Chain A
Amino acid sequence: MTEPISFTRKGAWRGAVRCIPLIISIIPFGLVAGVTSQGAGLSLLEAMIMSAGVYAGASQLVALSIWSHPPPLLATALAAFVVNLRLALMGPVLAPWLDRLRGWRLWGSLFFMADQNWALSVTEMTTGGRDAGFLLGSGLSMWLVWVLSTGAGHLLGASMRPPPGHPLFFAVLAVFVSMLAGMWRGGKDVLPWLVAAASSSIASFLMPGTFWYIIIGAFAGTLTGGLRDRTVA
């Protein structure tokens, strides 16, 4: 018999401590999110509420890149949904822990699940960790630093007032380029990525000023990968 799954303060604390190196590494991303929010015209409070309530950096940066006055409600919500679809695939991996939780412990833990503390929790779980509080503890501490560093970035942007086209705003693209290097899985990604690049570029020229090209490119590339695998298999 294996030990049952528990959910304790001790497990949450262990998650928070194990997460410290990752917490330090998200501070620059929080600063980028804050500077970008300021550049998009959000107030300090709005920027911090967004980081607190959405708590998903990449989707926030995509949404901020299409922000206007008033913001396009459907487009920003859809951007958040599509960019965060990967989170829907991450929760089920932690099922051995999550299936044992109920109520706020389950749904609260899921709220604080982000890429970094998810990866850490999967490692903890697969190496025999039985305390599901680990996920909440690591996520909560990262969330706190995320919100605070967003605020700091907003203050930085407000004091520098970088003009549009300033290299500081290139940070958003740099974040995504570095993420792409990590997402590359080898030869099978060549065709889907080429299709995504071509279809999104064409769509962006046909529909300037909207963000639909991101959705169109992702859809075309994903569909290409799925159909190709089906024919090959």
Chain B
Amino acid sequence: MEPINLAAIVLMGLATYACRGGGYWLFRQISPSPRVRAMLAYVPGTLFVSFVVPALLQGGLQPSVGAAATLATMLATRNTILSIVAGIAAAWVVWGFR
């Protein structure tokens, strides 16, 4: 085990607990306005869009085909596990044709 890896993991753990525990603590002290709450509700969606879209632009065909298969399966079945398996399978097919 490398100390620097452990340090990174501990810092990640502290940052995460700051959200879990700190959020509850902070909201008990102050009650944020509905406007602030509504704005914060945009964070999860925009965050994952910002992760996925650049990765697809730079990754080329394989991840794009996989993402399309994942999305299509998700919209059709609403089954998360199934849509991830479908995405990996589609990416695998593209990988096989390299």
Contacts and interface: CB of A to CB of B under 8 A. Distances in A.
Interface size class of B (residues with CB under 8 A): 35 or more
A224 B61 CA distance: 30
A184 B47 CA distance: 12
Interface residues of A, number: 91
Contacts, number: 264
A80 interface: yes
B4 to A, nearest CB: 4
Contacts of A180: 45, 48-49, 52
Interface string A146-188: 0000000000000000000111101101111111111111000
Do most interface residues of chain A lie in helix, strand or loop, or is the interface mixed? helix
A102 to B, nearest CB: 13
A125 interface: no
Contacts of A86: 19, 43-44
Nearest to A198: B53
B6 A217 contact: no
A184 B74 CA distance: 12
B12 A80 contact: yes
Interface of B: 1-2, 4-24, 26-28, 35, 37-59, 62-63, 66-67, 70-71, 74-75, 80-81, 83-84, 87-88, 91-92, 94-95
